[in-house]
Amino acid sequence: MTRPHSKPRARGARSLAAFSLVELMIVVSILGLLATLSAPSVMRGIERNNARGEARNIANAIRMARNQAASRGQVVLVTVTPNTGLVNLYRTPTALTSCTTITSTVLTASINATNLLHSYTAGSRYADALIGSTNAGAGFATATSPICFSPSGRALVTGTGVPFAGDSSCTGMNYRMWIVRKGETVDADLSKCVAAANEAERRTQKDNRDMKNFFMIHVPYNGNVEVIQ
């Protein structure tokens, strides 16, 4: 009686499995190396996007002042606290319609919790944001010299009702402020407007702004706030 032939054993099955495991380990190692190399650039990209989002949030808060002035038919005052990034919107208690009629007495009566329309503090998107100003004409929008939005939507100097005087080399630029990563040095080349920089300076400026998460917030005379890098 003949015995049925048994199924021949697959030769090399164990070695094939061992080779697949080694191959898998190599792939995992390569992926880990790639992840390690790309992590810094990914984190920089996330930080840059968060900084851009923060600049847009600040711009939106200022746009709200323009919209409130137009809808209420009265001036709305905007103050910005440097470093902390607190943006406050105030109405005047007597519903003034002109930025030229605002005196120091009116400011004292307006800049308080009673007349606060809206408040926004930078940091919801980018906690490391540091806010500063490059506006040569009027400095920062403080409680004694806020930005005044008229009912027509114009961004004017409080008390005089004239447009903000921007840098002489930046045609069409009025009130400017910026955000940057905390601890970074903001020199003139970084903060100057793009129009004032030559071609070589623009390339360097763009690289530095990318590295330092620098974004400019421009408040022009017509009130159309924009974010620029």
d(C-alpha 32, C-alpha 110), whole Å: 58
pLDDT of residue 82: 75
pLDDT reading at 214 higher than 60: yes
Instruction: Return the minimum-mean-pLDDT range out of 50-59, 97-106, 203-212.
Output: 203-212
User: What's the total number of domains in the chain?
Assistant: 1
The verdict on residue 195 lying in a domain is yes
The verdict on residue 32 lying in a domain is no
pLDDT of residue 179: 82
160 versus 188: which is more confidently predicted?
160
pLDDT reading at 137 higher than 50: no
pLDDT in tens, 68-97: 999 999 999 999 887 777 899 999 998 899
Instruction: Return the minimum-mean-pLDDT range out of 88-102, 144-158, 179-193.
Output: 179-193
The verdict on residue 137 lying in a domain is yes
pLDDT of residue 209: 84
Contacts 24+ apart (CB under 8 A), 10-14: none
The verdict on residue 39 lying in a domain is no
The verdict on residue 180 lying in a domain is yes
The verdict on residue 20 lying in a domain is no
Average pLDDT over residues 144-157: 91
The verdict on residue 155 lying in a domain is yes
Q: What's the whole-number average pLDDT of the chain?
A: 79
Average pLDDT over residues 134-140: 54
DSSP β-ladder status, 129-133 and 76-81: unpaired
pTM, full prediction: 0.75
21 versus 126: which is more confidently predicted?
21
Average pLDDT over residues 43-62: 86
pLDDT reading at 112 higher than 50: yes
For tokens 């120091």, the residue is 104
| Contact between residue 178 and residue 133 where contact means Cβ atoms under 8 Å apart | yes
CATH number at residue 152: 3.55.40.10
pLDDT of residue 134: 60
The verdict on residue 216 lying in a domain is yes
- The H-assigned helical ranges of the chain are 13-72, 104-110, 188-191, 199-212
Q: Domain of residue 83: give its range.
A: 46-228
